[in-house]
Structures are given as C-alpha cells and as structure tokens.
Structure 1
Amino acid sequence: MNSHEEVLEPSAFPVRARGRQYEDFQAGEHLDHHWGRTLTAGDATLFATTTLAYSPLYFNADHARAEGHRDLVVHPMLALCTVVGLSVEDLSEAGGPFLGIDDLVFHRPVHPGDTLTSTSTVLEKRASRTQPGFGIVTWRTEGRNQDGDLVVAFTRSNLVVMREAQQ
C-alpha cells in the first residue's frame, strides 16, 4: 500500500435501511414491481442442469417442439423464482423470515426469450402473535410474460418488522 492511500474503515460506510416495514403496507394496495427479466436459453439450460431436472423439455428444443412447444420450456421453478425475485425489492427486502407460498398455479409455459414481470396485491396484514415487534403480511403475486399472459400466480407471506421495533 502506498503512503498516500487512505484506509477506509467499514464504519465509514453508513448503513442504509432498505425495504418496507409493516406499517408501509395496506390491505388492497397494488404494487407493480420493477422492469422485469428476460429468460434466455442459457438460463433455462443452466437451471435445469444444476437442479438435475433432466426432462428433455428443458434442454432439447427438438423434443420440446415435438411436444407442441415453440422452443425449449423454462423449468417452472425458474419462472417462479424469477417472479418472486422481482418482488423482493418492494415486499421483503427489509428482511424478516419468508413464511411460505400457497395457492401456487403455473398457468402457461415460459420459453427462452420471454420477459417476465411481476405485480403484487396486499391481501392482509396482522400483528404476529408469537414474535413481538413483527407482523405478518400476505400478498397475491402474479407473473406475466411480455404479452401480458398470466404465467404463474401465488400467495406468499413474510414476517415483517414493525417500525416501533426499530426505535
């Protein structure tokens, strides 16, 4: 290290709170999540391979076409993970345990080149009975392709910190 270089301590970088807290959600509120994500053939093949999902629909375009698809099929769990990931910034980035997904329905296949977007509606919120300073928020999330076709829909819940617990 040169003598003119300054060493910055971690404390020199301010911690910035991210995400929304329990009080920031209102039942019925609709959220359009950010710009979306285009899934590629590479994404589809890598996901299928690394998860050991060896259905030829996921990595053999000729087979997928013979089964009536226009191209490879993106593994439905990759579509789900993408749609959940698109919602994190608005719903759960502040932290708090993920409590699960319910009522999951895959409505149509996703193919390489499809761009997925995500929207959510706050279904309900309530104070946690067992975790003081936290509430439970439940959202209905939908993922759509570039044509506006519904691809996947589900409800999900998270434990969300209450603002008063942060003070």
Structure 2
Amino acid sequence: MPDDFAAIKARARVLPKGRCFEDFHHGQAFEHHWGRTLTEADSVLFTTLTLSYNPIYFNKESAHGAGHKDLIVHPNLVFLTVFGLSVEDLSESGGPFLGVENLTFHRPVLVGETIRARSHVRSARRSDSRPGAGIVGWHTEGLIDDEVVVDFLRTNFVRTSDAPAVL
C-alpha cells in the first residue's frame, strides 16, 4: 500500500485556482455559474444561527401578515449567497478582501426562489503599497430571473502572475 500511495503522489500535480491581476480588465463581465435555490431549511437555519429572530424569516403566518406570499429569506443570507457565487470567478486565488460598499437590497427574496450572480470589473490597478498585487473592484448583482434583487461593490487585492503564491 505505501508504494501505491507514493506512485499516486508522484503523479499528483497542483492545479492553479482563480485568476491573477492581469486576467482582469475594466468592463469585463462574468456570469457566475449555477445559481442557488434558497430553501426554507437554508433560511430558517441561517436565521437561527445568527439569532435573527424576525418572524417573517421563520413563521409563515407572520410573513403572510406582513403581506408576503411566503417566508422571506434573511437579506444577509441573500448577500452572502451572491458573494459566494462570485468567488470562483473573481477571488478564488486569494488576496486580502478589502470590503463591500453600496450594498443595496432591491426587494425581499422568497423561500424557493433561485438566485444567480453576475459581476463586472469596475476598476483594476497595480497596488502602490504591495508589490506583486493589484487592486480589483467589481460590481456584483444578484438576480432572480432578470430582476436585480441585490447589488454591491466589492474590492480585493489580487496577486499578479509573477508574485509568490501568498500575498
């Protein structure tokens, strides 16, 4: 068995993930993969774990009483889901996250709706203070069908192609 393991390990190779700074340019568009149907289990668990006890997130009678057709998905779960959908295309290679600005929720998301994400590069420049890195900003939107339900601006350091693996 150890010889088999050694042979397998010898054939293994590291597959690079993510994009480098040079892979981004102003205006570039990304339609992020798959999307995600937000289930009642997702919503109730998130609400419980974050101690967000607004009954429109976990009590259908309260949601109906507030004028909603179904339970509302907690807005922070909507935001984090859209953010997560963008990671593979935008920031999977690492680099410090610099923040989110102008986070806007355009309408409540109902349990059972499927959200997808798209992003556009809004800025890309080399870092003055961090050699081997650039600063990239994206405008990301979360959509249900063709309706934007959440959007935000996000910024990260992104490693340049000639930089060490860790910033």
Q: TM-score, normalization: structure 2?
A: 0.92
Q: Secondary structure, in 3 states, of the residue corresponding to 2:150?
A: strand
Q: Which residue of 2 aligns with 1:151?
A: 149
Over 3 Å counting, the alpha-carbon distance change for 1:43 and 1:13 in structure 2 is same
Q: Which residue of 2 aligns with 1:66?
A: 65
RMSD: 1.8
Over 3 Å counting, the alpha-carbon distance change for 1:136 and 1:11 in structure 2 is farther
Gaps of 5+ in 1: none
Q: TM-score, normalization: structure 1?
A: 0.92
CA–CA distance in 2 between the matches of 1:10 and 1:80?
39
How far residue 11 of structure 1 moved from its aligned partner, in angstroms, is: 6.1
How far residue 165 of structure 1 moved from its aligned partner, in angstroms, is: 1.5
How far residue 149 of structure 1 moved from its aligned partner, in angstroms, is: 1.5
How far residue 12 of structure 1 moved from its aligned partner, in angstroms, is: 4.9
Q: Percent identity?
A: 49
Q: Secondary structure, in 3 states, of the residue corresponding to 1:123?
A: strand
Q: Secondary structure, in 3 states, of the residue corresponding to 2:30?
A: strand
Instruction: Report the number of matched residues.
Output: 164
How far residue 14 of structure 1 moved from its aligned partner, in angstroms, is: 1.5
The correspondence of residues 100-115 of structure 1 with structure 2, limited to 5 A, is 100-115=99-114
Runs (4+) of structure 1 exceeding 4 A deviation are 8-12
Please tell me whether residue 20 in structure 1 is matched to residue 22 in structure 2: no
Paired amino acid for 1:157: T
CA–CA distance in 2 between the matches of 1:56 and 1:46?
13
Q: Which residue of 1 aligns with 2:53?
A: 54
